[in-house]
């Protein structure tokens, strides 16, 4: 991992939440960017419960987490992104409890002066969230519940970032 450019972290706002309630993308974006006129780009990722994901007759998904550790892990992931890219803010909201196809599971918002930083940091956060944040999914089917197994592809997606060479983001680009 790169050494820490001390200047970047204090300037970034981090917000993390684990909640049963749904979130509003527009409201979260406004909160993240309020008052910061240096932000030129905001990316968001929203993960949804999908049907195909839910083989055969899955009717719902249930998310369990590790209260206390979860919030720390999400903050840690946001901080790691802010070390690698010049970010103005990161907001991560992860839902828990029972969710149904079409429901949102997770929101990651990243604000930066530069669009490429905002895209890459968001993808980085999702890849690390999938392997480092203590959430577990259970699928509910007519035959009963079953735990979802971790996927090898998520671990390889997270691992690839160790190889990514940090790019230079100067002031040549405004969003």
Partner 1 sequence: MQVTLLYFARLRERFGMAEEQLSLPEGIQTVAGLIAHLAARGDVWAEELAGERVYRVALDQEMADFSAQLHHGAEVAVFPPVTGG
Which region, judged by CB under 8 A, interacts with partner 1, from 3-11, 20-28, 132-140, 162-170?
A: 132-140
**Integer angstrom CA distances of residue 95 from 38, 53, 146, 173:** 30, 17, 19, 34
Residue 60: contacted member of a second copy, partner 1, none (CB under 5 to 8 Å, by partner type)? none
Q: Does 168 bind a second copy (CB under 8 A)?
A: no
**What are the residue ranges of helices labelled H in the chain?**
8-11, 25-33, 69-84, 115-132, 152-160
Residue 135: contacted member of partner 1, a second copy, none (CB under 5 to 8 Å, by partner type)? partner 1
Q: Does 161 bind partner 1 (CB under 8 A)?
A: no
Q: How far is the CB of 31 from a second copy (least distance, A)?
A: 12
Q: Which long-range contacts (CB under 8 A, 24 or more apart) does 53-58 make?
A: 54/101, 54/139, 55/139, 56/141, 57/141, 57/142, 57/143, 58/139, 58/140, 58/141
Contact code string over 41-70 relative to partner 1, x by CB under 8 A? ------x---------------xxxx-xx-
Residue 147: contacted member of a second copy, partner 1, none (CB under 5 to 8 Å, by partner type)? partner 1
Beta bridge partners of 141: 144
Let me know: does 133 contact 51? Beta carbons within 8 Å: no
> Phi and psi for 152 in degrees, rounded to 5?
-60, -35
Distance, in Å, from the CA atom of 5 to the CA atom of 116, rounded to the nearest integer, reads 19
Judged by the rule CB under 8 A, the positions of this chain that interact with partner 1 are 47, 63-66, 68-69, 72-73, 94, 105-106, 115, 126, 129-138, 147-151, 175
Judged by the rule CB under 8 A, the positions of this chain that interact with a second copy are 24-27, 29, 33, 37-53, 101-102, 105, 113, 115-116, 118-119, 122-123, 126, 151, 153-154, 157, 171-175
């Amino acid at each position: 991992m790169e050494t820490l450019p001390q200047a970047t972290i204090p300037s970034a706002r981090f917000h993390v939440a684990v909640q049963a309630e749904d979130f509003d993308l527009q409201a979260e974006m406004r909160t993240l960017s309020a008052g910061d006129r240096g932000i030129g780009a905001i990316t968001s990722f929203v993960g949804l419960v999908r049907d195909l994901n839910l083989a055969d007759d899955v009717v719902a998904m249930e998310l369990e987490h590790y209260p206390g550790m979860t919030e720390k892990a999400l903050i840690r992931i946001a901080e790691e992104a802010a070390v690698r890219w010049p970010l103005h803010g990161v907001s991560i909201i992860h839902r828990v409890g029972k969710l149904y196809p079409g429901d949102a599971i997770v929101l990651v918002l990243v604000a930066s002066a530069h669009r490429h930083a905002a895209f890459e940091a968001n993808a980085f956060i999702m890849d690390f969230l999938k392997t480092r944040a203590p959430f577990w999914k259970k699928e509910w089917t007519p035959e009963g519940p079953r735990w979802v197994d971790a996927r090898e592809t998520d671990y390889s997606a997270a691992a690839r970032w160790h190889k990514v060479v940090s790019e230079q983001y100067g002031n040549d680009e405004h969003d």
